[in-house]
Amino acid sequence: MIKRLPIRIRLTIWYSLIVAAALVLFTVVAIWMMRQSILVTVDEQLVDEANAVQALLDNATPGFRDQVRAHAELQAGSSLIQVSDESGEFVYRSPRLQAVNFPVRYPQKRKFVTIRSGHHPLRVYAARTISNGRPFTIQVAGDMDDYFEAVDRYQLLLLIGIPVLLSAATLGGHWMSRRALTPVDEITRAAQEISPTDLAARVALPGTRDEIERLAETLNAMLQRIESAFKQMKQFTADASHDLRTPIALIRTRAEITLRKPRTDDEYRQALREIVSETERLSALINNLLLLARTDIGAEALRLSRVDLCDIAREAAAQGRTLAESRNIDWAQMFPESSLWIGADAEALRRLLLILIDNAIKYTPQYGAVCIRAGNSDGKAYIEIVDTGIGIAGKDLPHIFDRFYRSDSGRSRDLGGFGLGLSIGHWIARSHQGDIKVNSVLGKGSSFQVWLPLIN
């Protein structure tokens, strides 16, 4: 039930409960300590009184009863004393103790006891002593009325004061919770005013350097990520629409032109070949888009197993050699004789290497060179593809793994690319707990390194 209340009400309730518990505990401890302090003080006085009586017994004369009586009377009637010998006869007995017939012995084993004389509480101290070879029992008592009345007044004061203090604390706690949560309300209002058309807006930082400011910073960071993702989605949609529209337009245009007038069989075949070619490109684009969409939602899972990176690299290199020879490009490959064992999805890793090899050959002019080599360093395996192609400008390097990104006219659709291959390759590398590093000089070539963790 309490969970449904506003947080400021819940804070106030919990604050009030804690304060109430603290006040009750303080009251109990304070009253107990006051009573104990009173008892300690009274007990010390009673011990002093008993010692004084014992001193009189030690210096006993034939009239020591009168001496005890005189000592008691000198205490202004406040001393309640009775002294008895071994036979139980009283050497001296204060009138009040005689009136209540205070016993010489009582069941408590402690030397200090609290009893009631009528309606008056008494604190009594008893001591056994031997004076001049004779055993005596000395009992001294003190009235506790004034002390207990003081305790009662103190207790009443606390019982009246606690509700007042608790009420004040509750009001104060409610005020503090409202004041503390005011920045949260402001953050909430600011967040509600941010619309999909104005994702650049941010929540103002309160400048308090506390949890509220960290909340605002976290919210702003989240808005920044949402804005970036939204822009990326818009750009992705625009680029995908453009790249989908182009082959479809070519297919339709070619079909319409072919159907305008009768054609020879060879002309029909040529038109169909062009349509098939564009259809294959369109199918490849759609498959890549579906793959990226599945990776975005985490639906594309890799099946990792223990594989030899060199074996996968040799398979990819065999296809790369064929592509390179068809374009009069020198091909070289260098792999270690020992195995490089990694945990990988062999098919996905082969696709990554073919993407990098295809790009290297695609952007390397005739009579250039492409080299692939493998090795290991610092507990990691690597595959490096080096080409002498057109290279990548420094301003483009941070964006080459972005979807649909093509750096310049040299890396254009004329070479058959859509700008998705490196995005897919980057996802494959990261899914293997690896990374891709790029070095490139415009006009001189590029080097792509894939680093993957080794396993035993």
Domain termination site, one of 256, 278, 296: 296
The reply to whether 254 and 312 lie within a common domain is no
Return the pLDDT at 77.
45
Q: State the residue range of the domain holding 218.
A: 211-296
Q: pLDDT tens-digit profile of 383-436? A: 999 999 999 888 888 888 887 676 654 444 445 556 778 888 888 898 889 999
The reply to whether 399 and 257 lie within a common domain is no
> What integer is the mean pLDDT of 318-337?
91
Between CA 163 and CA 157 the distance in angstroms is: 11
The reply to whether 44 and 145 lie within a common domain is yes
Q: Domain for residue 223, yes or no? A: yes
Domain termination site, one of 296, 317, 339: 296
The reply to whether 23 and 122 lie within a common domain is yes
> What integer is the mean pLDDT of 215-242?
76
Q: Domain for residue 62, yes or no? A: yes
User: Closest Cα partner for 29 from 190, 199, 217, 158?
Assistant: 158
Q: Domain for residue 275, yes or no? A: yes
Q: pLDDT tens-digit profile of 253-271? A: 888 888 888 888 888 888 8
Q: pLDDT tens-digit profile of 279-290? A: 887 787 777 777
The reply to whether 314 and 367 lie within a common domain is yes
Residue 174 has pLDDT above 90, yes or no: no
How many folded domains does the chain comprise? Answer: 3
Return the pLDDT at 299.
58
The reply to whether 134 and 240 lie within a common domain is no
CATH number of the domain at 106, please: 3.30.450
Q: Domain for residue 231, yes or no? A: yes
Q: Domain for residue 186, yes or no? A: no
The reply to whether 314 and 271 lie within a common domain is no
The reply to whether 339 and 440 lie within a common domain is yes
The reply to whether 259 and 373 lie within a common domain is no
Q: pLDDT tens-digit profile of 99-112? A: 767 766 654 455 78
Q: Domain for residue 246, yes or no? A: yes
pLDDT above 90 covers what percent of the chain? 18
The reply to whether 319 and 291 lie within a common domain is no
Return the pLDDT at 341.
94
Q: Domain for residue 111, yes or no? A: yes
The reply to whether 291 and 318 lie within a common domain is no
Q: pLDDT tens-digit profile of 29-62? A: 988 898 888 888 888 888 888 888 887 777 765 5
